[in-house]
Amino acid sequence: MSNRTWTRSFAYFTTTVILLAVVGFANAQTLDLAQKIRTGTWKPYKVAIGDFKVVGQLSLATDSLAKAMQRIVTDDLDFHIFFDTIPKSQFYLDVWEIKDITPDVWQRMGADFLIEGDVELVGGDVKVLYRIHELSPRIQELTSEKLSTTVANHRRLAHMVSDAAVEHIAAEKGFFTTRIAYVSAETGHKELYLCDYDGANPIQITADKTLNLSPAWDRKEEKLLFTTYRTGRMEVWERDIRTGKSQPISTYPGSNNAAEVSPDNKEIVITLSKDGNSELYVVDRKGKVKRRLTQLPSIEVSGTWSPTGREIAFSSDRAGQPQIFVMDSEGFGVTRLTYDGKYNDSPRFSPKGDVMVFVSRGDDGRFRVCTIDVTGQNFQKLDQTGSNENPHWSPDGWHLVYCKYQGKKSDLYIMDRFSQKIKKITSDGQSSNPAWQPYIP
């Protein structure tokens, strides 16, 4: 065995011991399912989306609303890694002279589950009664529920139906009602924006007319940390989305950058250069330094918490070129995770705890979104078109949002963690720095 091979093997072993013995948050079911999806031995649930029918007074507006909600639920589940939607087979219906598509008809068309709904418009409110049927091995109703909201929020209502389908069919939590924070230069300045997970309902939330970057969500409230030059210096501020108010958090001399809130919402890992070069620190929620994590002449950036908060991953050029390292949250037990790729940056732990996503620069100068197990094994390149940066996990740990650069344009894309399903969600050509909202209690 060569020295390099032995060194790499020993590093893999050390990483495994530290991350699995100390962290231990990736459960066996997640690991088993991920392996089956990766190898193609797991098959998605086949789901039919039946017609969302109008009840009460029929009108063009109600009919249009019902069809729109049906399309949203279909698009939601068609994107999810756990589902394949079954289209209505007009040929099948014509051959068998079927006019009313009942659950048994969907069963014969290959569906395992059926989702259907009744939509009613009452004044300025829309109400939907959804039903989820299991079709195999026998037909039975799994659940039903009546939901309501204003007509303006009908998309959220449809996303709630999709979330219910994920919960009752896959026994996982859905993410369709979460939002994505990002940066866009559409106004001529890089401002913060929010949109639904699928890119709908974009809204601008800052108007600073300066450079804003790196949004990061609070773990319990609708607040964002972000890097800004609003005072002419690189500082970290906090934005309350509900009130529209911003306040400074970290304004030390030098650069204040790339802040991320800990899972318990009590601390922030941040990159500061106040003592010289860029190093990682942990500060409290008001920005007071609690501890310095790294103390080397190399550059340490992109700090990110593990789901338990006991570990922090980061990027460092201490090995010559940027690579991904992991340490405990006190700054001890530093272990190198990546050996494949000459330039690796922007790590993020999956909420499931089993995988880390990061970007790796290829020989062509382009960045690729990659994943690697927390043991240092299974290095995987995902979407390999364009140059892809700033990956961020969905709260369920099975999907990702990232920025794709093509020429001078940049837009946001979402995909599952195996890059089987990829979807573009912005089209202004100036979007970047996405951050997917976590589950907020």
Query: Are 85 and 149 within one domain?
Result: yes
Interacting residues of 100 by C-beta distance below 8 A, sequence separation 6+: none
**Spatial distance between the Cα atoms of 398 and 353, rounded to a whole number of angstroms:** 11
| 355 lies in the same domain as 239 | yes
Kindly state the tokens that stand for 171: 């026994």
Look up residue 78 and give its two tokens.
């068609």
Range of the domain at 126: 45-170
Residue spans of the chain under pLDDT 70: 1-25, 90-99
CA distances from 52 to 48, 64, 72 (A): 12, 10, 11
Give the number of domains in the chain.
2
Answer yes or no: are the C-beta atoms of 79 and 62 closer than 8 Å: no
Q: How far apart are CA 419 and CA 49, in angstroms?
A: 24
The conformational region for residue 38 under phi > 0 = left, psi -120 to 50 = alpha, else beta, is: alpha
| Together in a domain, 104 and 192 | no
Residue-wise over 137-154: b if at least 16 C-beta within 10 A, else e? eeeeeeeeeebeeeeeeb
The residue type found at 172 is: E
Q: Dihedral sign for Cα 208, 209, 210, 213, please.
A: positive
Residues 218 and 155 in one domain: no
What is the C-alpha separation between 277 and 298, in angstroms, rounded?
Answer: 8
Are 199 and 305 in the same domain? yes
- Final residue of a structural domain among 124, 150, 170: 170
Residue 10 lies in a domain: no
3-state percent helix, strand, coil for the chain, nearest multiple of 5: 20, 40, 40
The span from the CA of 55 to the CA of 116, in Å, is 13
Q: Does residue 116 sit within a domain?
A: yes
Phi, psi of 96 (to 5 degrees): -95, 5
CA distance 18 to 126: 52
Q: Is 187 in the same domain as 149?
A: no
The reply to whether 267 falls in a domain is yes
CATH code where residue 143 lies: 3.40.50.10070
Domain boundary among 170, 194, 210: 170
In this structure, the answer to whether residues 326 and 189 fall within a common structural domain is: yes
Q: Is residue 15 part of a domain?
A: no
Query: pLDDT digits over 414-437, tens only?
Result: 999 998 899 999 999 999 999 999
427/362 same-domain check: yes
Residue 2 resides in a domain: no
CA distance 190 to 175: 27
For residue 141, is it within any domain?
A: yes
CA–CA dist 30, 402 (Å, integer): 23
Domain closes at, from 170, 197, 226: 170
What's the pLDDT tens digit per position in 211-237?
999 999 999 999 999 999 999 999 999
B/e letters for 219-251, b = 16+ CB within 10 Å, e = fewer, are beebbbbbbbebeeebbbbbbebeeeebeebbe
pLDDT for res 39: 83
Q: Measuring CA to CA, which residue among 385, 387, 432 is closest to residue 412? A: 432
pLDDT at 270: 99
Whether 161 and 183 share a structural domain = no
Check if the beta carbon of residue 320 is closer than 8 Å to that of residue 302. no
Please check whether residues 267 and 358 belong to one and the same domain: yes
- Verify that 76 and 54 share a domain, yes or no: yes
Domain with residue 205: its CATH number is: 2.120.10.30
The answer to whether residues 89 and 216 belong to one domain is no
